[in-house]
Amino acid sequence: TGQKQEKKKDDPSDDCGIQDTQRTRSADEVIFFPDKVTIGEEISSSSREMRGMLYKNILYENAIKEGAGLNKLLSRLITAKKSIDVCLFNITSEQLTKCVTDTIDNGVKVRLIVDGSTFQSSGTQVKKFLAAGAFVRSSWKPEGALDKNSGDNEANGDYLMHHKFAVIDESILITGSFNWTMQALMGNNENIIITTSPDILNPFMEEFESLWKKFDPKS
């Protein structure tokens, strides 16, 4: 296939639509969801069903505004220069998926681990990761690869792969309760912690490598 057409500098899709990526911030940060920028007072008092009906308007118009939680998260992800490792139970957010997969065009290596129960679930963005050139592994092994005599079937359901973290360039950790889903963004009370502390970052890097090896379909 031919090379992708170069984006114009004024292309509004650049940088995931983030409007305030140049603002100064500390290396460590805490983000809570839902946030007041995305969910105003009028919407916050609405029912869960009504918020769901307003999803498109809220997410596309409010959630990338300055100060919004999603904006803060996206603006961290687009700083990646070499790698993004993502370990999640599930990912259904189109905005976060696009932000991460767009970095592949700039030479960033993206690896994604998801729980086997969500690998092909409704709304999952896994196929978009694969189509963009990301490396993806499921916590479930194909049935034909399981050695049930050795108890290997524990990999397929006994333990949920329930982590929720990402590592950018082996130097920035993003973790917390937040699954990368619409529900987490606007329907739950969630948190994210962003840190560059090696004491916290390094164990997560080791955990990712351990799971990446464990979930190798060839092993």
Concerning whether 169 is annotated as a catalytic residue, the answer is yes
Element spanning 85, H or E: strand 83-88
Element spanning 201, H or E: helix 198-214
Concerning whether 163 is annotated as a catalytic residue, the answer is no
Residues 6+ apart with CB under 8 A from 185: 33, 34, 38, 59, 63, 69, 70, 93
Cβ atoms 59, 51 nearer than 8 A: no
Q: Is 205 exposed, middle or buried (CB count within 10 Å of its CB: 0-12, 13-18, 19+)?
A: middle
From 105, 169, 213, 216, active-site residue: 169
From 72, 141, 163, 164, active-site residue: 164
Cβ atoms 95, 59 nearer than 8 A: yes
From 105, 162, 213, 216, active-site residue: 162
Task: Give the active site residues.
Answer: 162, 164, 169
